[in-house]
Chains A and B, each alone.
Chain A
Amino acid sequence: MPDWFFINGHLGWPLFTVMAYSGFGMLVADYVWRRVTMPAKWLFTGLLGIWLLGLLLLAALW
Chain B
Amino acid sequence: MILAAQLVVLGVLVVALMLLRRHWPYPSPLIRPFLPPQRRWPEAQIRGWLRTKRFHPGYLAFFDRDPERIVPSGPALLAPADGLVTSVDCRDGIRYIVIALSFWDMHVQRSPATGRVVSVERLGATYTDGEGRDFAFLRDKYCPVQARTLFECNAGRVAVRQITSVAARRIETWVVPGQPVERGQRMGRIRLGSTVVLEADASLACRVAVGERVRAGETALLEVSEVAC
Contacts and interface: CB of A to CB of B under 8 A. Distances in A.
A5 to B, nearest CB: 12
Interface residues of A, number: 15
B90 interface: no
B2 A9 contact: yes
B6 A10 contact: yes
B35 interface: yes
A44 to B, nearest CB: 15
Interface in A14-62: 16, 19-20, 23-24, 26-27, 30-31, 34-35
Interface stretch (B14-22, B117-125, B205-213): B14-22
Contacts of B20: 26-27, 30
Given A10-B2, A19-B10, A27 B35 contact: no
Interface of A: 8-11, 16, 19-20, 23-24, 26-27, 30-31, 34-35
7 contacts: A9-B2, A10-B2, A19-B10, A27-B31, A31-B35, A34-B27, A34-B35
